[in-house]
Structure 1
């Protein structure tokens, strides 16, 4: 919407690339302001899809990882759509208003997800559409977002364990525990008011660099991190986006097998880099061996250069690693998020070998 473009340009020093406000001059200071509730982030990399219709929640539940038919208006949820082998294909944040399910999705995933939804309609009473011209997405702390002119606000359940979910990380406290994140759907009139406030200095804005740094520090996964092999178990996504007892959906068999009987082949680690930043796609090294890949990286206002990486499950947990950055290898201390023993939660009885005789 035109009003959103005006909002992106409203603050002094705004740097906008491809419709995304990257920063307004100082990403580190913007992180502090965003974390404290003193700033808001226009999320140009997030768009809205709408699914109206009487069957919308049971329909979405039938092929996603989340139980949605029990949602009440105003309640927030998160869902994944998997391929037949359990790999993550799409992700969405959802809030329902009683007539329409509103999905907040990464812009890079919106076209593919909408195409999938349209193909899944059959004869059900649903009519998915692209709603990016109806609403823009603005994020921040729940308290800051509550002051926005927006009736629809999605509250991030991370890092809580939602009903039917499961947490692999044993961190206590979890680094995302204090990240009280929310995303508001703001219409054109509301965005225009925010642009006026930002231009006058009454509203402070933060860019996508700041918002993503806070996400990485909270170990919070998103679809932008995923490759074609990602299982939700590998990044602790069972915690907020998967209901393990909801019944059948595409990929459900793999989810159940890995969780109950096996182990995810890779595991998520947090990396604290020694002075130099990493980038998505950088190789993670243990000695001379490549053991994983950086999936997200940031410069945090307190922790310095940090990253999330997927490494082989059998990578030792008590060793320092290195990241092969563009400027050469950089030492990286790892913190376990998903442990090597994640999964195999079912208690399977031992079966006596055939031919064994009892006295």
Structure 2
């Protein structure tokens, strides 16, 4: 049950709209746009309801380093990073925000992915000195923007057990940004997430600290071009979402899926790419994630996320064909209404092929005049 369920205006983000559901947090508290403004200014907190997986034992960092996409060996205590679990073809299976406190690695992921991630990690332990646990039911996750938590003056029964600082504001060491870095909307992204006990979450909820719901957080995330596991499907490779920026180290040692990561980045192009959509809001309808993105009635992609931003209006993230002309206007359907959408390039059509290896002519090819 959400610690904030007793707050005025609480509307559950759970599909069942039942605040007693495990992990049910607020979609909003009656004023999503106002909550969003407060959250963006660092004046409100948002209960994120993320999954929490812990890894303990002396081999924890070197082991995670060997099986995921990020450089984790030697990760300083308290420094936030992000890593991906890929399959053999380089497709994203799991994603986790990572922070080590000196004795425990805290992995924060989508609530629904916590048990699958913990199960997969547990299956990979072999003889190493590590222990894995899904501890989502034991903790709450509270997010805010800025260095100082809005609840800093609240008398808490226990301090946060871990705090993760999002690295999205800049390309991380060993990473690569496909999006233009000048005026990147993520450069001001200062998200922090505290892992707290239920008692501490209750104390924050009972205080006068302003709160926001997940709708506010989602709008700010989309505007910052910040990818999450919810944006991926069963074909997604990191390059398509510009996830090399924060979750992949291109020169670290071998891990599952590394060959695809290196080959696409150095020699090829990702088959799809993420764009931001600026949606026509004149009919006051918002297409839902998963909605087909169309050009002249032909599907050219899918909507990964959508929200109403307090400054930009209706926006979304869509994964489209690499070859799609960035200047064309697209359409989506919501509640029987056709919604037009202009594109803003995030991952450009020419992303990849950074090794600049010249393409050799095909043997036996006939040159036609």
TM-score norm. by structure 2 comes to 0.90
Q: Following TM superposition, by how much is the alpha carbon of 1:320 offset from its aligned partner in structure 2, in angstroms? A: 1.6
CA deviations 1:304-353 (Å, max 9, x no partner) are 11110011001001222112323332111100100010000013267699
**Is contact 2:266-2:354 (8 Å) kept?**
yes
User: CA, structure 1 residues 281+260, in 2 after alignment: closer, same or farther (shift >3 Å)?
Assistant: same
Q: Structure 1: where are the runs of 5+ without partners?
A: none
Q: 1:33 aligns with which of 29, 32, 38?
A: 38
Aligned pair count reads 346
**Residue correspondence of structure 1 range 304-323 to structure 2 within 5 A:** 304-323=313-332
Q: After the TM superposition, which residues 211-230 of structure 1 pair with which residues of structure 2 at under 5 Å, given as runs?
A: 211-230=217-236
SS class of match (2:182):
coil
2:123 is the counterpart of 1:119: yes
Aligned-residue offset at 1:151? 4.9
Q: 2:257 aligns with which of 226, 251, 269?
A: 251
- State the partner residue of 1:160: 170
Report the alpha carbon displacement of residue 10 of structure 1 after superposing the two structures with TM.
3.1
Supply the distance in 1 between the matched residues of 2:163 and 2:200 (Cα, whole angstroms).
Answer: 13
Runs (4+) off by over 6 Å: 350-355
The answer on 1:142 being equivalent to 2:152 is: no
Could you tell me which runs of 5 or more consecutive residues in structure 2 were left unpaired when the two chains were aligned: 15-20, 153-158, 365-369
Structure 2 residue 28 is the aligned partner of structure 1 residue 23: yes
Alignment of 1:334-345 (within 5 A): 334-345=343-354
Query: How far apart, in 2, do the equivalents of 1:167 and 1:150 lie?
Result: 32
CA distance in 2, matches of 1:236, 1:205: 30
> Cα offset for 1:22?
1.1
Per the alignment, do residues 171 and 245 of structure 1 end up closer, same or farther by CA in structure 2, a change over 3 Å counting? closer
Change in Cα spacing, 1:170 to 1:6, as seen in structure 2 (3 Å) is: closer
CA–CA separation in structure 2 for the residues paired with 1:268 and 1:144 = 32
The residue number in structure 2 matching 1:42 is: 47
Structure 2 contact 169–188 (Cα < 8 Å) conserved: no
Q: Does the 8 Å CA contact 2:293/2:331 hold for their aligned counterparts?
A: yes
Pick aligned residue for 1:131 from 132, 135, 141: 135
CA RMSD of aligned residues (A): 1.8
**Deviation string for 1:265-284 (max 9, x for gaps)?**
00111000111422111111
Who is 1:194 aligned against?
Answer: 204
Higher helix share: 1
CA spacing shift, 1:320–1:6, aligned 2, 3 Å:
closer
Cα distance in 2 for residues equivalent to 1:303 and 1:40: 22
| TM-score between both structures, scaled by the size of structure 1 | 0.92
Q: Alpha carbons of 1:354 and 1:320: their partners in 2 closer, same or farther (altered >3 Å)?
A: closer
2: CA distance between counterparts of 1:260 and 1:115? 33
Q: 1:306 to 1:349 in 2, by over 3 A?
A: closer
Secondary structure of 1:177's partner?
Answer: helix
